[in-house]
Amino acid sequence: MSELLDRSIGDIAALLARGECSSVDLVQGLLHRIDSRDGDLSAYVSVDRDDALGQAQRADKARSEGDHRDLLGIPIAVKDILNVTGQPCTCASRILDGYVAPYDATAIARLRDAGLLFVGRTNMDEFAMGSSTENSTVGVTRNPWNTACVPGGSSGGSAAAVAAGEAVAALGTDTGGSIRQPAAFCGCVGLKPSYGRVSRYGLTAYASSLDQIGPLTHCVDDAARILQVIAGADPLDCTCLDVVVPDYRAALGGDLSGIRLGLPREYFVQGIDADVEQAVRGAIQQCEALGAEIVEVSLPHTEYAVSTYYIIATAEASANLARFDGVRYGLRAPGGKDPIDMYGKTRAAGFGDEVKRRILLGTYVLSSGYHDAYYVTAQKVRTLIRRDFEKVFESCDALLTPVAPTAAYRLGSVSDDPLSMYLGDIFTATANLAGICAVAVPCGFTSDKLPVGLQIVGGPYQEDRILQIAHAYEQSTEWHTMKPER
């Protein structure tokens, strides 16, 4: 059973269909691995053993009665920011202590309809605000490759769980790189769909114009399978667009002949870790060997991406987090003399330092006298960044870039330096600002034996194309097969 947990969703689904294992077997194996490994990693914030086994028993019963759904009985982990009926959804924050979701997020409902089951909820930076999963009120998550290092963030728990074999696959969210960066740090595949491809209904919002739900998986084929289920229009989310959802797995296979891949010169600059650049350059050479044409391109407004992102994201966070006031659900601090005093005491006790920092920044840039100077200007720069991508995609099928300037860094090494952590989003935040899709795939290791990720960026709703490129590269290497010691 131990080796089975590291196999692809497709392999496991085939074994289930042939009756060579059961969903109960899978869940019991996962629970055993979580028990034996998660004490060192803290990838999960909660695991409901009885509920997980109950779901597995119902899946096995359905299969025995003739239910032939491909993904029936496949277990998946869920980032603690998505609502799942009957489960807590704390966003790793004290302010949501005691909150239990009364409904399923649309992505969860679609996975449930496809037969998948939910094992547990994964750790994250509080309200998805961070790049290391150190900003969690339930404790830090550690990288399975080196427990002295961060797993990335904010979906660090999901990435660590997949890399450690504590999850067959997991859902994360990506606002400025929060799926792709932890995927790169932990050596797994992480896909950020285009804005509007996947419904955000039931996702606790950080920045509504940037957030997207996506999978973290062992391989590209698994990411395609999960995206196939969760993609598509949703009447409950007006920002989820009614565009054709292609057969993502049908696009996989073959080499890269006839594909034109751009290398943005602004993404290969001084400051990138030498081991990271070497691994990414090696991946680029491999893509060229597979038949791709490699060309240099320019995205001239990249230098403004981080400042633009942190103005827009914090402004939206300031508005979105105003709903957490201690009145209807979650924490309520005692001793308030009146509602205003109660709000202040509750938020002071309920929000962590990083969340407070971003709320203050967002409130400042939206305040009278600064709104035009900061927020309006940032939206104009966002348009210029999107136009940069539009121009590049007129001559390229996709872009190849690093995911982050470094590999995983040591716990605590930048937690007291927010600016350094923010600058780590330089290669990922642009895709969120432009609303386009991107995927991270393993492409090597540093001299310290830490994973490195290659980012493949595509135009709006071009997930099938970037998955095809990622799959061709992945299948020509062995990086995705390498697992941390357990």
Distance, CA of 476 to CA of 302 (rounded, Å): 31
| 154 tagged catalytic | yes
Ramachandran area for residue 245 (φ above 0: left; ψ -120 to 50: alpha; else beta): beta
**Which of 154, 194, 318, 415 is an active site residue?**
154
Strand partners, 445: 451
Distance, CA of 175 to CA of 429 (rounded, Å): 7
**Which of 178, 194, 318, 415 is an active site residue?**
178
CB distance 66 to 199 below 8 Å: no
CB distance 302 to 264 below 8 Å: yes
Distance, CA of 457 to CA of 431 (rounded, Å): 8
Strand partners, 191: 439
CA angle 475/442/84 to nearest 5° reads 105
| 178 tagged catalytic | yes
Distance, CA of 147 to CA of 484 (rounded, Å): 11
Distance, CA of 163 to CA of 475 (rounded, Å): 18
Q: What is the DSSP letter of 369?
A: T
**Which of 8, 22, 42, 79 is an active site residue?**
79
φ, ψ of residue 293 to 5 degrees: the values are -95, 125
Distance, CA of 309 to CA of 316 (rounded, Å): 11
Nearest to 5 by CA among 19, 21, 26: 26
Cα-based torsion angle of the residue sequence 113, 174, 159, 190 in order, rounded to the nearest 10 degrees: 80
Q: What sign does the dihedral 391-396-397-399 (CA atoms) show? A: negative
Helix (H, G, I), strand (E, B) or coil at 449: coil
Cα-based torsion angle of the residue sequence 158, 160, 162, 164 in order, rounded to the nearest 10 degrees: -150
| 36 tagged catalytic | no
Q: What is the DSSP letter of 207?
A: S
- Please provide the DSSP assignment of 376-436 as one string: IHHHHHHHHHHHHHHHHTTT-SEEEEESSSSS--BTTSSTT-HHHHHHTTTTTHHHHHHT-
Q: Can the peptide bond before residue 476 be classed as cis, meaning omega within 30 degrees of 0?
A: no
Distance, CA of 138 to CA of 125 (rounded, Å): 10
Residue 94: burial class (beta carbons within 10 Å; 0-12, 13-18, 19+): middle
The residues assigned a catalytic role are 79, 154, 178
